[in-house]
Amino acid sequence: MEKKDVNEPLLLSAAEQSRGSAVSLTSSIGDADIGPISGVGDFAREFNVESKKLWSLAGPAILTCVSQYSLGAVTQVFAGHISTLSLAAVSIENSVISGFSFGIMLGMGSALETLCGQAFGAGKLSMLGLYLQRSWVILHATAIVLCLMYVFATPFLAFIGQTPNISRAAGLFSLYMIPQLFAYALNFPASKFLQSQSKMAVMAVISAAALVLHALFSWVAVAILRWGLEGLAVALNGSWWFIAVGQIVYILCGTCGEAWTGLSWEAFHHLWSFVRLSLASAVMLCLEIWYFMALVLFAGYLKNAEVSVAALSICMNILGWAAMVAIGFNAAVSVRVSNELGANHPRTAKFSLVVAVISSTMIGVGISAVLLIFRERYPEFFTDDKEVRTVVRDLTPMLALSIVINNAQPVLSGVAVGAGWQAVVAYVNVACYYLFGIPLGMILGHKLGFGVMGIWSGMLMGTVIQSLVLTWMIQKTNWEKEATMAEDRIRQWGGHSDSKENILT
């Protein structure tokens, strides 16, 4: 059979169009773009309709995020029952070695949010499987490179100032955790593949089951078998592989229809274009993840560093849990925007953004209100140190403001991912975060003597500026043009799905 040019428009047969329409209906993509909204009544009605679509995605996504976020937290809790050194080793490995790799791998996998989402919205279902396989190839190659960081974790940690004992223990635990890196390489593309088809519920069930089993096996490894750090590593690796294999089994069982038709040599075509978008996604996400990680690092340089770091760590933990809601909306709005752009519904894509920002911001306001009301009591749940509790209480207004702002910002980033703007947003993040926010925070905190509050204020201003820039970009966007670009991207990177190219059907 003669090969089609990849730049040639991919036309669907009547049967394929029918199947694509059926799947689109199940994923809540409307048959037509949203019409003009006139008056409060129209807005309220359309808001209610879009809210149901968003929450059907955001609810399972939030549960998935919370479950996966909790795996490392559970491991740290059990490590604290082994020894103080074990707790330090696990904490450092989770936040530095694994945290660095997690950001890169998740960011690179996020390229599928753009490509799979837009292809699904356009009804080009067979292309989703090709995109998934290309992402697997790229992420496994990245995992092999990142293995060097795990192998040389001990000298690296010593170089950045960790004590010899902690460096050795964390370095040993890093070696144990290499299998987790390859679980990331399988899991993140599979997650984005399922997410683009609105199959969020199965991801939530698998992740929640993994969390329950992880807690059980960690307890057995530490309390019953006395395996120490090795046992915790086995449990944590096993949990991530459980998630990855569970999702892959679900995909291979035929539940995704034409989105998965088997392995294909086409996965090795157009890899460079895929790598560029994957790298842009990784840079965009990592710059956001590492930004507030740097806040704790800078607090360690203050005069009363121990109290400052302890108080700030408590605030960052709370901010992290609250961020799971925003990240859930990030995933949901990314799916909605990419699907609707792929379906050539630009006005619906824009309205979905409005609904997501309002919903996520209101939830952030609610969480912040609870913290402000109970600001005198909640620090007691985290520490017995009176001085640390006092600092946490003083930082609560800043924490509350950060939660509100950070609940809106990831939604805006989700729109950027859904529309394929990763490279542009990466430049915006560098300018707003690292050229403006961090220098301002250092000036306020160190030069002007405002301490933790000054550092946090400066860095929060960077987030505010970034959110304003993204809002301006979205406001100026020609959504009809974005829908056309989505169609061009699908056509350019599609390849063909000739059965002769399949390795396994």
Alpha-carbon gap, residue 166 to 227, rounded angstroms: 19
Residue 349 resides in a domain: yes
Look at residue 236 and tell me whether its pLDDT is greater than 90. Answer: yes
Share of residues in the chain with pLDDT > 70 (%): 75
The first and second tokens of residue 469, run together, are 């820039």
Alpha-carbon gap, residue 143 to 130, rounded angstroms: 20
Look at residue 333 and tell me whether its pLDDT is greater than 70. Answer: yes
Look at residue 220 and tell me whether its pLDDT is greater than 90. Answer: yes
pLDDT band, residue 208 (cuts 50/70/90): very high
Residue 24 resides in a domain: no
- Residue span of the structural domain in which 336 resides: 51-501
CA of residue 478 relative to chain centroid, distance = 26
pTM of the model: 0.70
Spatial contact of 287 and 430, defined as CB atoms under 8 Å apart: yes
| Bridge partner list, 502 | 264
Instruction: Label each residue of 441-474 as H, E or C.
Output: HHHHHHHCCCHHHHHHHHHHHHHHHHHHHHHHHH
Which of residues 294 and 173 earns the better pLDDT score? 173
pLDDT attached to residue 89: 82
Alpha-carbon gap, residue 88 to 151, rounded angstroms: 19
Residue 124 phi, psi (nearest 5): -90, 70
Residue 6 resides in a domain: no
Please measure the distance between the N-terminal and C-terminal CA atoms of the chain and give it in whole angstroms: 18
**Digit-coded pLDDT (tens) for 68-120:** 888 887 887 788 778 777 877 887 788 778 878 888 888 777 777 777 777 77
- Name 178's Cβ contacts closer than 8 Å, sequence gap at least 6: 147, 150
Residue 373 resides in a domain: yes
For 38, 308, 466, 468, the CA distances from 436, given in Å and listed in that order, are: 40, 23, 10, 14
pLDDT attached to residue 19: 38
pLDDT attached to residue 207: 94
**Digit-coded pLDDT (tens) for 161-188:** 777 888 898 899 999 999 999 999 999 8
Which of residues 31 and 307 earns the better pLDDT score? 307
Residue 21 resides in a domain: no
Instruction: Give 268-324 as a DSSP string.
Output: GSSHHHHHHHHHHHHHHHHHHHHHHHHHHHHHTTSTTHHHHHHHHHHHHHHHHHHHH
Question: Which DSSP symbol is given to 11?
Answer: P
Alpha-carbon gap, residue 104 to 142, rounded angstroms: 9
Share of residues in the chain with pLDDT > 90 (%): 17
pLDDT attached to residue 373: 92
How many folded domains does the chain comprise? 1
Closest CA to 167 of 103, 234, 217, 96: 96
pLDDT attached to residue 304: 65
**Digit-coded pLDDT (tens) for 414-437:** 666 656 666 777 788 788 888 898
Residue 14 resides in a domain: no
- Of the candidate ranges 147-156, 416-425, 466-475, the one whose mean pLDDT is the lowest: 416-425
**Digit-coded pLDDT (tens) for 353-409:** 788 888 888 888 999 999 999 888 888 776 677 887 888 888 889 889 888 887 777
Look at residue 277 and tell me whether its pLDDT is greater than 70. Answer: no
Residue 228 resides in a domain: yes
Which of residues 21 and 336 earns the better pLDDT score? 336
